[in-house]
Structure 1
Amino acid sequence: MTDVCSSPGVATRSACMRSTSAIKPASNAKRADKLRRAVPGLMLVEAHGKMPAAEIDAAMVGFAEGRGDILLATNIIEAGLDVPRANTMIVWRADRFGLAQLHQLRGRVGRVGRGTRRGQVILLTSDADRIGERTLKRLRTLSTVDRLGAGFEISAQDLDMRGAGDLLGETQAGHMKLIGIDLYQHLLGQALRVARGEAMDHWTPELHLGGKGTLPEEWIPEADIRLTLYVRLSRLMQEGEIDAFEEELIDRFGPLPGSAAALMAHARLRFAARTARVARVDAGPSAIAITPRSDFSGDAALHGLTAKNDRLLLVEAIEEDRRIERVQSLLEALAA
């Protein structure tokens, strides 16, 4: 590494960059001191996640502008750094990086002037640790697939080595940080109910009433917050949970606009349909049609419903502004 960093090409025309997979202040200071002793004639710049954001920005921008010969950094340089003069990178403990990470890292050097300067990446590992066969296969893949457009081929080989997973099955791996705490708690709650012997209904009634409601952007501007709220609402199974969710929306964002109120009304309709064991509801200006499930036990005749094929019909003129209210009352009556 000393020979690489101190070569004339690196010192005068480019930059030598070194990336580590994890950073501890003490160990990083030792690496920096070792590099300074190895190449005393070169200026060393450091950048890692333990530094204040302003210092990181100053170091990165300054290095890109030519202030410094060697950048000692963690994998925060994986994306967003453009240093045209950098044509050499040394990755310490490359066995700790993923294949996609290493491919992204090597794209940081040799970005311009490819006709006159060839970028190179040197992958280093520790001689104290034995490297597993899967790790060696990953590193060999990176060294052999180095042509233009290699990203797709590397992704395909990464998929082949790690497997595609089982998205809909029971065989899963990972931690709640990977799937999100909300989904983790939802899946954990379901697993606990199954363990207690409680019946699990994995179905959602279909509602076709001419409108569904939304959380409008002008009411909740952040798209990620709206998405999280939609997901949470879709998992509510009790009327009390829906009421509490609506109160939370009002507390956080103010009075419900019309479209949000319609969304909550549809959530209550969906709960009422589940309670009545109704798989589907279709409602228009002149009739309401419900499709009961096999375990439906409501008294259809008592509430004026007539059977037609696999549906129950209530022929009744209904104004649009009363449609949701009328369907709600019908479903509650059937569930009583």
Structure 2
Amino acid sequence: MEQPPSGTTSLLRVTARDAVADDVIALTLEHPDGRRLPDWAPGAHIDLILPTGLTRQYSLCGNRWDAHTFRIAVRRESDGRGGSAYVHDVLAVGDLVGVGGPRNNFRMVPAAKYVFVAGGIGITPMLPMIHQAELVGATWKLVYTGHSRATMPFTDELAPYGDRVSIVATDEGGRIDIGALLADAGGDSRVYVCGPCSMLDDAVAAATTWPPGRLRVERFRAERSDTPARTEPFVLELARSGRTLPVTPERTVLDALADAGVGVLSSCREGLCGTCETTVLAGEPEHRDSILDDDERDSGTCMFVCVSRSRSDRLVLDL
């Protein structure tokens, strides 16, 4: 059967809804006609497009070899904007929900050894990575922390892995020292970290001398920059049409493009999901996303137009 293209948006049906921890439910999604879903790789996420108009990104945490189902897990966020509350309180088995993607900003690269560090719901992208590491015979270990075991989803799925998985519950007196953990990782290990912002910030700080790409982090919330945005207007040049568009300090590049009738797919508008990635042909982008690593930012070959801007007077985009 022909495979649907990755990155498209479709309506999928909720076919299962399971409580997997306190305030965490797992959803299984399938095409209502039983069609094959797009392939995906460990680290991928989908957009859940809710009837309320909210769009939220969730890591795929099911069996990537099952071509007909997606599985995600959603934690209720008491201080959120209503997306997780809708999923928990309204979305039911049998309902149709919009789904975009999959996309992958947290790619698992080949390695002989892996260290996975997860905090709370950050376990979701790690499950397919662990399955992949097992499949290829790589050495790996997981350190998984949370407030309590009752709040940590999928511990039952991890139990068969024995002492390769360390469960650290803070209500049992457990604490992890990210700096010490990364120092013991070994120079030949790839390290993947997903969880609260404080955990990710500590990991990045502990790995400042590491080679690019050895540490990968995925953020569920946008990283805020203290660097002020450019305060002067700049000009966008659209290479395919030759059009030029002014961008004033109070407007985003995405808004300027939309106002000019230039369609660019977008979702989170926070520099998190990767939907609006656009190729840069000339000029110097001012990166304000939470996706690119330092090398990717230095290359200046792409930007996420929902949040990133320009350091130069003119920015030429492949649009």
| TM more than 0.5 | no
Using structure 2 for the length normalisation, give the TM-score: 0.25
Between 1 and 2, higher relative CO (CA 8 Å, sep ≥ 6) is seen in 2
Query: Which of the pair is proportionally richer in helix?
Result: 1
Q: State TM-score, norm by structure 1.
A: 0.24
